[in-house]
Amino acid sequence: MGALGRPRRSCLAVPGSSPKMLDKAQGLPADQVFLDLEDAVAPLAKPQARRNIVAALTEGDWGGKARVVRVNDVTTPWAYRDVVEVCEGAGAALDCVMLPKVQDASHVRWLDLTLTQIEKALGLPVGGIGIEAQIESARGLVNVDAIAAASPRVETIIFGPADFMASINMRSLAVGALHPDYPGDPYHYVLMRILMAARAHDKQAIDGPYLQIRDVDGFRAAARRSAALGFDGKWVLHPGQIEPANEVYSPSQEDYDRAELILDAYEYYTSEAGGKLGAVMLGDEMVDEASRKMAMVVAAKGRAAGMVRTSRFTPPAAA
Ligand code: GLV
Ligand code: MG
């Protein structure tokens, strides 16, 4: 994870129309919150939701969580007002704007330019507000590379399975779950495509919602599938999904310890004192430069999650 790698294991959706939920969300252990102006808010409730969100951001205590607002997509009559009202009212208390239903790079460029104007008008650092881009259609997916590259503000690429399934006529209503007629993971290609674009452009890849909020095992299984590929986190729609997400998208203690051990051992053995070796044995495993890179990924995720190692590498001479 690079500079944009603030932990986003759990990204909690909070409807902007509900002051009660905007209040409660502040105390929950999610890495990120996104205050929603889009599909969780009815058209007639959107103006009040904008005001609720500005108040929650400027007056609330979000305790170090990434603070994101999801605006409406660029084809709607609401998008420009969402961006202007929320960013003018709370730009200094906002980390990112999430843009849904991104279909091509022009959508991101519109948001980038609008944010620049607002930041200049408010005297905020230009580029300070990031962008999260949701991929929710066939067109968005085929353009995902250009979308990821459209602005240095882009921090995450997010899969939006519900809208995506509708966009491609997928015959299922169980969002995020496997389909009994398909002998594999119907989302595998989409997830991998998003992940490749995200990694090629040094962005985070975030999995979307699992709608059966009482089925924690189902949530965990879906999260494990995208975490296994390399995704950084997943949306959570209910407090009961937060801890499972934080756990699934963090390395296990065993993997974290092993990764730190590999890094230490490799550093020692490649040094003068360790014999300047390029490939070494660590227990039963051969470790080389590629292993170091893999270990670095796991170690970085563990460190970002605040994990503490429980074992140390001891050079053989000192053992
Ligand atoms: C999220 O926005 C989705 O459509 O799944
Ligand atoms: Mg959607």
SS (H, E, C) 269-295: HHCCCCCCCCCEEECCEEECHHHHHHH
- Pick the last residue of a domain from 217, 248, 279: 248
Of ligand 1's listed atoms, the one at least distance from the Cα of 208 is 5
Domain boundary among 248, 277, 304: 248
* CATH code (residue 213): 3.20.20.60
Residues 128 and 258 in one domain: no
Average pLDDT over residues 132-156: 98
311 shares its domain with 209: no
User: Which DSSP helix (H) or strand (E) runs through 233?
Assistant: strand 233-236
| Count of domains for the chain | 2
- What are 184-206's pLDDT values in tens digits? 899 999 999 999 999 999 999 99
CB 86 within 8 A of CB 118: no
271 lies in the same domain as 180 = no
CA 52–ligand 2 middle distance (angstroms): 21
Is pLDDT above 60 for 33?
Answer: yes
The pLDDT, as a whole number, for residue 314 is: 87
Categorize the per-residue pLDDT at 1 as very low, low, confident or very high, splitting at 50, 70 and 90. Answer: very low
Task: Tell how far the Cα of 136 is from the centroid of ligand 1, in angstroms.
Answer: 7
Q: Which of 214, 248, 282 is the last residue of a domain?
A: 248
3-class SS of residue 108: helix
For residues 143 and 180, state if they share a domain: yes
Question: Atom 1, ligand 1: which residue's CA is nearest?
Answer: 160
- What is the mean pLDDT of the segment spanning 36-59? 97
Closest by alpha carbon to 111, among 89, 86, 90? 86
Identify whether residues 112 and 259 lie together within a single domain. Answer: no
To which residue do tokens 């051990």 refer? Answer: 261
Cβ–ligand 1 distance for 140 under 6 Å, the answer no
Residue 180: pLDDT band (50, 70, 90) is confident
Give the whole-angstrom CA distance, residue 153 versus residue 171. 35
- Cα 73 to ligand 2 centre (Å): 10
Q: What is the pLDDT of residues 94-131, one digit of tens each?
A: 999 999 999 999 999 999 999 999 999 999 999 999 99
> pLDDT at position 3, please?
38
Predicted pLDDT of residue 317:
65
Are 243 and 291 found together in one domain? no
Question: How many C-beta neighbours within 10 Å does residue 240 have?
Answer: 13
User: What percent of the chain has pLDDT above 70?
Assistant: 97
Q: Which atom of ligand 1 is nearest to the CA of 38?
A: 2
| Predicted model pTM | 0.93
Q: What's the pLDDT at 78?
A: 98
Q: Is the pLDDT of residue 4 over 60?
A: no
**Whether the Cβ atoms of residue 253 and residue 310 lie closer than 8 Å to each other:** yes
Distance CA(223)–CA(212), nearest Å, equals 13
Distance 135 CA to ligand 2 centre (A): 8
Q: What is the pLDDT of residue 156?
A: 98
| Same domain (yes/no): 241, 294 | no
Are residues 97 and 147 part of one domain? yes
pLDDT given for residue 213 in this prediction: 93
Task: Say whether both 162 and 297 belong to one domain.
Answer: no
What is the pLDDT confidence band of residue 316, given thresholds at 50, 70 and 90?
A: confident
Place of tokens 């986003």: 8
Do 231 and 126 have their domain in common? Answer: yes
In a shared domain, residues 117 and 264: no
Q: Which domain holds residue 281?
A: 253-318
Same-domain check for residues 120 and 155 = yes
Which phi and psi (to 5°) does residue 100 adopt?
Answer: -85, 165
44 token code pair = 């007639």
Token pair belonging to 279 = 């490939």
The CB of 176 under 6 Å from ligand 1? The reply is no
Q: Identify the pLDDT of residue 181.
A: 87
pLDDT at residue 117, as a whole number: 98
Selected residue with higher pLDDT from 316 and 38: 38
Mean pLDDT, to the nearest integer, of 224-231?
Answer: 96
Distance CA 124, CA 120 (A): 6
